[in-house]
Homo-oligomer: A and B are copies of this chain.
Amino acid sequence: MINVILLGFGNVNSHLFKAFNNSSQATVKQVFNRSKIDLDSSSQSISFTDKISEIKEADVYIIGIPDDAISSFSESLILRNKLVVHTSGGAAMNVLSKNNRRGIFYPLQTFSKQREVSFKNIPICIEAENASDLEILQNLGKTISENVSEISSEERAKLHLAAVFVNNFTNYLYHIGGDILNKENLSFDLLKPLIQETALKIETLSPKEAQTGPAKRNDVKTIEKHLNLLDDSNYRNVYELFTDALKNNFN
């Protein structure tokens, strides 16, 4: 059994809390948060503290707080020579205080409190300063996911960058699509089956194989028509940039 203490209780750590609770190989021994938290009734028995000085002993401490707060928070811990990890894709391992053994436990997924997620397929990217800690993190990852990989800080930075493209920027394209329909009083619901199928296609085809559309086939008439329909200059910039890129890369 691996004992975990969660430090912070935001999107990531509240989901990790549920995932570890549902696993038989890991247990959340304590949750620290600087302010009081809501735990649903089934979890009332969990030990909670808002005092740094009351943080207990455990195998792994997981810091799940905003990137720019990790460094000073990890310095403020009274723990010494414990395995302390953070969950960030964007922050390096060395932002953590040297007072403890450092590591990373980065779940490559988008989390928000409103949505349940299953960890089973979520890639858990781990890193540690020494082999025995890496093994602990490997075993901890396996308690919730079938997909645990050792990833260096440099690789993780690239993963995080790629995630910004496929998550943040894709979501903004959904917003543009919805906005174009909204101006015609058409429902965003009309686009949902297409959005789901676009995502599902890349489970079996590479994005290059899945690519279709006027830009790919250099359909100048349609591209011209679309540019005329776009009155928002920002959307037009996106359209032109992607159309040029697709014409150059996919023909």
Asked if residues B162 and A166 are in contact (CB atoms below 8 Å), the reply is no
- With an 8 A cutoff between CB atoms, is A112 at the interface? yes
B-facing residues in A167-181 (Cβ within 8 Å): 167-178, 180-181
A40 neighbours in B (Cβ, 8 Å): none
Tell which of B177, B245, B246 touches A163, judged by Cβ atoms closer than 8 Å. Answer: B177
Nearest chain-B residue to A198 (Cβ)?
Answer: B167
- With an 8 A cutoff between CB atoms, is A165 at the interface? yes
Mask: chain A, 26-68; 1 = CB below 8 Å from B; 0 = not: 0000000000000000000000000000000000000000011
Interface on A for B, CB 8 Å cutoff? 67-68, 90, 108-110, 112, 114-115, 117, 121-123, 147, 149, 151, 154-155, 157-159, 161-178, 180-181, 183-184, 186, 188, 190-208, 210-216, 219, 221-222, 225-226, 229-230, 234-235, 237-239, 241-242, 245-246, 248-249
Q: List 21 A-B contacts (CB under 8 A).
A: A68-B219, A68-B221, A108-B191, A114-B205, A161-B229, A161-B230, A162-B176, A162-B191, A165-B239, A166-B173, A166-B191, A168-B211, A170-B174, A171-B211, A175-B249, A188-B206, A196-B200, A196-B203, A198-B199, A234-B245, A238-B245
